[in-house]
Chains A and B, each alone.
Chain A
Amino acid sequence: MTDPIFIDALGPNGSYRAHNRLTVPDVAGNPLVELSFVPRLFVTRAMSALRKAETLPTEQRLAAMRAAGELFATGVVDGMSAADYQYTVSRMSGTPLPIVQRAVRAIARSAAGSYDSAQKARPVGAVNDWRDPKAREGTAVWIRRGDVFAVHAAGNHPGVHSLWLEALALGFRVAVRPSRREPLTPYRLISALRASGFGDDQIVLLPTDYAEADEILRQADLSMVYGGQDVIDKYAADTTVLPNGPGRSKILVTADSDWRDHIDMIVDSISHEGGTACVNTTAVFVEGDPAPLAEAIAARLSAIPSLPPEDEKAVLTAYSMPAARKIESYLQAKAAGTRAHLGGDGVVDELPDGSAVLRPAVHELDDPFAEQANVELAFPCVWVAPWTREAGPAVFHDTLVLTAVTRDEKLLDDLLADPTIKNLYIGDHPTYWMTPGVPHDAYLGEFLMRTKAVIRD
């Protein structure tokens, strides 16, 4: 029995250890973290402090972010070394250690580069400051749509915390409500930002129970939330909330191309990042018989070892046994009537500590419009379906990333034109491909900023 790690709220008057705390266990069910839950009054006071606070001047802000990213990735923050932090995250969230390590580096890169990548979203007619010489002839200036930005963060992958850094870079004061599944990453990142020059009233961490969570959004100018379809529906009409919903990413291989030339990319797209990211492939469509492709994917995925998440070679995300069983039975209910190539007898594989990994599942569908193709589960779980010319682009509605392996330019035009397909990768590019400056689900800047006409003497 080791001492618990306390994750306090980081409020406008410093850190606060609440009486009301949640014990967050590791994947084996052992108590690991004591997470403070703050009450509504704390939320409203913190949000009000953010509103009254100043924004750090741009140069100072970006320097502080760069330093914080370094400190977060490599330093000792609140008494915890980088290695301890990474190990703890993998034990708490079940995310494989190599994935945590990659995410940490990506967060540090975002901290250093967010401002520049955010600039890609600035309209070509806009400048950043009224002092720009263009203002003398009249120009657009790119301005924030508000001052206070809030995030209801997700805990599926540490990398989700690289996105809101863009809001911070653009000068918003930011409130983060951590996920109860993995609150350590935002705690460490915000602690590092504070240690590097941000004021306690410029960035806050507000862990709350569900009842108080909406209050954070209500008092922010703009916010971003993560969740399932219910969350998307809840905020559909709210122009101040940007929901990050299901990914349902897909791959299409048409008859003019041979899937055998792309099997590495396909398998990687399914299992990269442990299969828990919204950019992991949920379904693969092939023009022709899907069975040989499903068989080939199954053969490759079955070679992945079952390892505890803190192992340096771990690939699969670990879950508590009850959580793993719940996902497995959900899969089995959904998979009824489909043809299993892998995982048909169950996907739960118990680890020595009593936790479990979910081993890959490959199921073949017989209809391009089968509803299973949109059933996205947080492990390497893929549906392989036939695609036909008659089915056309319609099967790809509501897809975060579509990789299309095809030479059919007319089809590509149609896929590009569909606004519900958020990203289109053409050819041998995995669905998880991302790079700074290229949008993930449109530029965040499109949501955070607007233009204002300025002319001056």
Chain B
Amino acid sequence: MSEKILDLPLDARPDPDEFVRAAMEWHFSPETGSAYWLERAKTLGFDPRKDVKSVEDLSLFPNIVNELRDVRVEDLIPRGYGADADVVGVYESGGTTGAPKRVIILRDWWQRIMAWMNAGMDAAGFPENVNWLVVMPSGPHMAGKMSEQHATDRGGIRFTVDMDPRWVKKLVAAGKAEEAEAYAEHLVEQAGFVLRTQDVGVIITTPPLLERISRHDDLVELIDEKVKGIVWGGAHMDADTRYLYRTEVFPGVKLRGTYGSTMILGGSNERLDLTDDDACIFDPPAPWITFRVIDPDTGRTVDHGERGQVVMNHVTKNMLLPNNLERDLATRVEPPAGLAGDSVADVTPVARFDDETVIEGVY
């Protein structure tokens, strides 16, 4: 009975708590749950089928994402899918903090999240039947696969650039800023080859690479001439940068942000109809994906308009990844009417430089 609620499309509005209860049944019944969760349930100290009754109760779960560095991916597939689950692929986290975490994406979820994100593109006025230039992490990263699917679903040809973000992080961590620079310029050069010779209607890239592309006047000119829309994701963009792109750099091009994570097997869409002075707000597809903005010291949800750290929940038939504290800070915003959880604005990384008072010396 309740399983049906888990199969609804993402524009449906199921009762969020009923939805969570159905998901608990699915993931923790011996007949349908994954080997991983059935084993893990033994040490939870509570019974998810009895004790987790609402979106709020997801916070009972420990954050298990670190375990995804070692788990055999087959053990992540719920048994309810049967022996021949339709696997879209295995995707890995960026690898900022050690060995990568792995998730497995199954066809039914993939189709629903892509349908929802495509509807978001339509609503934002992004054109169909144009080609896409994808300058996003490729290889094991979900962003590359998602962009490929977008282009296909929307009737375009996809051009790609190889990109390994882990190598860049390694270079930066080792203090090899010059090499990281050279790698980034290498990516921009390849994007330039495509932009100069091909019809490109949409670009999808990260904010740091978009900023680098913008340093090249010839590329800016080509984009203003050919490109209808730019999608950014995978990193943060502040309101001032967005304002500059919209008013000075790419005034005729639609600019749209996505905020997601491999650990939610998808993302959220930028809220439409905001002014240039509004912060960039992201609304996740609740209750499949929900956000909560908390005070990391107390674990309590902050007030609307206050800043806190983002907790993400992914609750689908495909996977259960609850209560994951991300390394992002955001302002808590009211979600669209009737949706569970929080929307987020002004997302920034947690690690920021503090204003250190230098003592010795006069400067």
Contacts and interface: CB of A to CB of B under 8 A. Distances in A.
Interface in A37-87: 38-42, 44-45, 48
Interface in B203-249: 211, 214-215, 217, 238-241, 243-245, 248-249
The interface centre, meaning the residue of B241, B355, B359 with most chain A CB atoms within 10 A of its CB, is: B359
Contact of A20 (B238, B245, B362): B238
A40 B244 contact: no
A237 to B, nearest CB: 12
A454 interface: no
A20 B357 contact: no
B53 to A, nearest CB: 41
Contacts, number: 84
B297 interface: no
Given A41-B245, A41-B249, A278 B362 contact: yes
Interface string B330-363: 0000000000000000000000010101111111
Interface stretch (A107-115, A125-133, A188-196, A243-251): A243-251
Contacts of B353: 209-211
A42 B362 contact: no
Interface in B241-259: 241, 243-245, 248-249
B357 A45 contact: no
A326 interface: yes
Contacts of B277: 19
Contact of A246 (B214, B243, B248, B361): B361
A378 interface: yes
Contact of B357 (A44, A209, A280, A323): A323
A41 B215 CA distance: 8
A276 interface: yes
Interface residues of B, number: 24
A154 interface: yes
Contacts of B238: 19-20, 39
A453 B259 CA distance: 57
A154 B240 CA distance: 25
Interface stretch (A221-229, A260-268, A336-344, A416-424): A221-229
A353 B15 CA distance: 57
A277 B359 contact: no
B314 to A, nearest CB: 30
Interface residues of A, number: 41
B362 A156 contact: yes
B214 A276 contact: no
B211 A228 contact: no
Contacts of A40: 211, 241
A48 B212 CA distance: 12
B239 A247 contact: no
A11 to B, nearest CB: 10
Interface in B276-309: 277, 279
B211 A44 contact: yes
B357 to A, nearest CB: 6
Nearest to A47: B215
A359 interface: no
B361 A245 contact: yes
A277 B244 contact: no
Interface in A213-272: 226-229, 231, 244-247
Nearest to B349: A211
Interface string A1-41: 00000000000010000111000000000000000001111
A227 to B, nearest CB: 5
Given A19-B277, A44-B211, A378 B239 contact: no
Contact of B359 (A245, A247, A330): A330
13 contacts: A19-B277, A39-B240, A40-B241, A41-B214, A42-B244, A45-B249, A48-B215, A155-B363, A278-B363, A326-B359, A330-B359, A376-B362, A377-B359
- When A and B form their complex, which 4 residue pairs have the shortest distance between CB atoms, in order from nearest? A228-B361, A154-B363, A19-B239, A226-B363
Interface of A: 13, 18-20, 38-42, 44-45, 48, 154-157, 180, 209-211, 226-229, 231, 244-247, 276-278, 280, 323, 326-327, 330, 375-378
